[in-house]
A = this chain, B = another copy of it.
Amino acid sequence: MTNHLRHGFLLGVSFGLLLSTAACSSPKQEAGAAEENAVREADIQWSKTAGTRDLEATISYYADDATVLPPNAPVATGKQAIRAVWAPMLAPDSSISWEVTKVEVARSGELAYVLGTYQLASKTEPDKGKLLEVWKKQADGKWKVVADIFNSDLPLPGPPAKTK
């Protein structure tokens, strides 16, 4: 190797590493806040969609292989089973909505979880509770829900407490 060749080579290695450092870290860190907003916005839109009682539009927020874990019922995996879980929650006599309380996105920007609270207005079975959703960015760049679970804040219905 001539001196010039060696000099050029080392300069090139530095430049190459510099290039890749830029490509490898900063965009991901910047992506953090943008992805967090994207998931939060998607969740807000999802609650609004459920408010319109449009079952198919509500179900469209799930990935094809998503899992829903409804209280007092078995696990529902896939769109068909998930549709059956959602249908009664979108009945004309009830109204469901929820709010995000926390969003955290993985540094890699493709996996996130959401904590939130929900309200179910209903004459027969009003309810309020909490939820945990896992969102995953799909191949087309859209965020979809891959796992969704919720439960009530209200005490279990049962016989009135005995007083001795």
- Pick from A38-46, A65-73, A81-89, A92-100 the stretch touching chain B: A65-73
* Category for how many chain A residues contact B: 35 or more
The chain B residue with its CB closest to the CB of A70 is: B151
Could you tell me which A residues sit within 8 Å of B by CB distance? Answer: 1-2, 4-21, 24, 28, 67, 69-75, 102, 104, 106-111, 113, 115, 117, 130-132, 134, 136, 146-147, 149-158
**A130: contacting residue among B69, B113, B146, B156, CB under 8 A:** B69
- CB <8 Å contact, B155 and A72: yes
Shortest Cβ gap from A152 to chain B (Å): 6
Interface residues of chain A: helix, strand, loop or mixed (majority)? mixed
- CB <8 Å contact, A151 and B149: yes
What's the Cα separation between A105 and B15 when bound, in Å? 33
Q: Which of A11, A16, A157 has the most CB of B within 10 A?
A: A16
What's the Cα separation between A147 and B106 when bound, in Å? 14
